[in-house]
């Protein structure tokens, strides 16, 4: 007898399958809920309140803000599904915002959206979904999930390369991927908006969120000042040979690869931020060619692929969300570390960013960049 699975991979009718949908108030998660409701599933919508509502209602276009919570509630009413708002403010502040501030102080450039997925959304919220008796949890991410041999689920890039969000989900565990579903992974944005219009959703024309949700208009420095008073310690701006060129008002104001706003003028060639030295409160600047990196060190590696051979594994490594992947050789270290040898040097590699590893379209895992080895040995001596 042939086993018939529903579209979410369960051997039962959709009506007998409960799915919790993480609803941010945007068009993607709203359409996810709409499609599953249309297919007859027992759908429950959950929205997280992640930071101060008084601030949130003034900030549109970011997930889990006041207006977005209102939009999610309205969509749930239109679809006729139960909807709950969970107050995760304290968890979000402790696990995401505090980490964000500390990372900048350590000279890193963090990605709080990954931390949010790694902790609040795919750990705490997923546990809540299970407490509600859900068979799975669905999100509006543009990633694909396929089941391979032995029933093991794999994570793949989204069909729409321009919207693919697999980079932000690299830290998902195998257990989480087994429980998660991504109904939009095989679509592009135009298809999603067409469904929103077909459902008559109030968010059909709502623009995508662009900013970090708790950072208004990109003003991350003010957020750090509020979370870590006194963190803006001044220091020296030095060149690659250690010569002092000027002073800064806090290394958190600088990121690797930055050219504008360094505060040093009168040089013949443009200067770029090459490295941040938080221990000595120094910003190291120099020519663009010194940004070239040949090796990357990675920590807190999350791995869902096959074992890495002792002589390394050829992978495609994506080291920024906005850049295409590059060919590299991956070597596994001890205690969740790894080393990446780039086949061609890359510029602007920054500690705190993620390095995500792929085999074709499949996500093998990833980790947080802890260091970069430059092609210019002077830079290593400078720090």
pLDDT tens digits for 99-109?
999 999 999 99
| pLDDT on residue 159 | 93
Domain with CATH 2.40.30.10 in the chain: 292-382
pTM of the model: 0.89
pLDDT at 56: 41
- Contacts of 304 by beta carbon, 8 Å cutoff, 6+ apart: 154, 155, 172, 173, 174, 177, 363, 364, 365
According to CATH, the topology of domain 292-382 is Elongation Factor Tu (Ef-tu); domain 3 (2.40.30)
Backbone angles phi, psi at 283, to 5 degrees: -110, 120
For the segment 186-210, the average pLDDT, to the nearest whole number, is 92
pLDDT-derived band at 1, boundaries 50, 70, 90: very low
pLDDT over 80 at 193, yes or no: yes
pLDDT of 54 reads 47
What number does CATH give the domain 232-289? 2.30.30.280
Q: Are 87 and 49 in contact (CB under 8 A)?
A: yes
Question: Edge-to-edge strand order for the sheet containing 272-277?
Answer: 244-248, 235-238, 282-286, 272-277
State the DSSP H helix or E strand holding residue 45, giving kind and residue range, or none if neither.
strand 42-49
Pick the CATH number of 14-217 from 2.30.300.10, 3.50.30.30, 3.40.50.620, 3.90.1710.10: 3.40.50.620
Rounded to whole angstroms, how far apart are CA atoms 327 and 343? 6
Average per-residue pLDDT for the chain: 89
Residue with tokens 């990605």: 111
Determine the Cα–Cα distance for residues 205 and 61; give it in Å rounded to an integer.
12
For CATH 3.40.50.620, list the domain ranges present in the chain: 14-217
Q: What is the pLDDT of residue 58?
A: 46
Report the alpha-carbon distance of residue 5 to residue 234 in Å, rounded: 61
Domain with CATH 2.30.30.280 in the chain: 232-289
**Can you state the percent helix, strand and coil of the chain, rounding each to 5?**
30, 25, 40
Alpha-carbon distance values, 275 to 2, 99, 111, 123, 321 (Å): 60, 20, 18, 33, 20
State the average pLDDT over residues 251-266: 87
**pLDDT value for 82:** 96
Cα–Cα distance, 107 to 96 (Å, whole number): 17
If one counts every other C-beta atom within 10 angstroms of the C-beta of residue 167, the result is 25
- Of 86, 155, 145, which is closest to residue 120 (Cα–Cα)? 86
Please determine, for residue 230, whether its predicted confidence score (pLDDT) is greater than 70: yes
pLDDT at 135: 97
Tokens matching residue 300: 């807190």
The average pLDDT across 355-369 equals 95
Q: Which two structure tokens, joined as six digits, stand for 242?
A: 């250690």
Identify the band that residue 53 occupies on the pLDDT scale cut at 50, 70 and 90.
very low
The per-residue pLDDT for range 302-323, each reduced to its tens digit, is 999 888 999 999 999 999 888 8
Maximal CA-CA distance, the chain: 79
Q: Which residues are catalytic?
A: 116, 213
Residue 237: pLDDT over 70: yes
Query: Of 225-229, 329-333, 351-355, where does mean pLDDT reach its minimum?
Result: 225-229
Q: What is the pLDDT of residues 172-184, one digit of tens each?
A: 999 999 999 999 9
Interhelix angle 189-199/27-38, nearest 10 degrees: 60
pLDDT of the residue at 300: 94
Task: Categorize the per-residue pLDDT at 64 as very low, low, confident or very high, splitting at 50, 70 and 90.
Answer: low
Nearest to 330 by CA among 339, 322, 321: 339
| pLDDT tens, residue by residue, 139-167 | 999 999 999 887 889 999 999 888 999 99
Radius of gyration of the chain (CA): 22
């Amino acid at each position: 007898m042939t086993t018939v699975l529903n579209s979410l991979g369960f051997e039962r009718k959709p009506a007998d399958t409960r799915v919790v949908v993480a609803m941010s108030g945007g068009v993607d998660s709203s359409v996810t809920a709409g499609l599953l409701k249309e297919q007859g599933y027992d759908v429950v919508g959950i929205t997280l309140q992640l930071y101060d509502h008084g601030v949130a209602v003034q900030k549109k276009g970011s997930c889990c803000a006041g207006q977005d919570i209102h939009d999610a509630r309205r969509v749930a009413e239109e679809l006729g599904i139960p909807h709950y708002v969970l107050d995760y403010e304290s968890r979000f502040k402790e696990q995401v915002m505090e980490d964000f501030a500390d990372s900048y102080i350590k000279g890193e450039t963090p990605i709080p959206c990954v931390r949010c997925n790694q902790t609040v959304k795919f750990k705490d919220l997923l546990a809540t979904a299970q407490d509600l008796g859900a068979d799975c949890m669905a999100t509006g991410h543009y990633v694909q999930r396929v089941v391979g041999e032995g029933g093991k689920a794999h994570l793949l890039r989204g069909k729409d390369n321009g919207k693919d969000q697999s980079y932000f989900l690299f830290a998902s565990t195998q257990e989480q991927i087994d429980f998660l579903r991504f109904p939009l992974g095989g679509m592009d944005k135009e298809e999603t908006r067409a469904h929103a219009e077909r459902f008559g959703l109030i968010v059909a024309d709502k623009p995508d969120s662009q900013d970090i949700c708790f950072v208004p208009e990109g003003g991350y420095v003010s957020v750090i000042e509020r979370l870590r008073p006194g963190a803006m310690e001044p220091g020296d701006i030095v060149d690659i040979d250690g010569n002092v060129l000027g002073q800064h008002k806090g290394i958190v104001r600088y990121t690797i690869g930055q050219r504008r706003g360094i505060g040093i003028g009168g040089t013949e060639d443009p200067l770029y931020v090459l490295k941040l030295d938080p221990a000595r409160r120094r910003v190291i600047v120099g020519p663009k060619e010194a940004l070239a990196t040949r090796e990357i060190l990675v920590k807190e590696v999350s791995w869902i692929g096959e074992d890495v051979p002792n002589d390394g594994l050829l992978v495609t490594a994506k080291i920024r969300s906005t850049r295409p992947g590059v060919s590299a050789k991956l070597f596994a270290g001890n205690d969740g570390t790894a080393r990446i040898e780039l086949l061609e040097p890359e510029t602007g590699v920054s500690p705190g960013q993620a390095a995500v590893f792929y085999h074709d379209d499949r996500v093998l895992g990833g980790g947080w960049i802890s260091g970069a080895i430059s092609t210019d040995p002077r830079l290593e001596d400078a720090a």
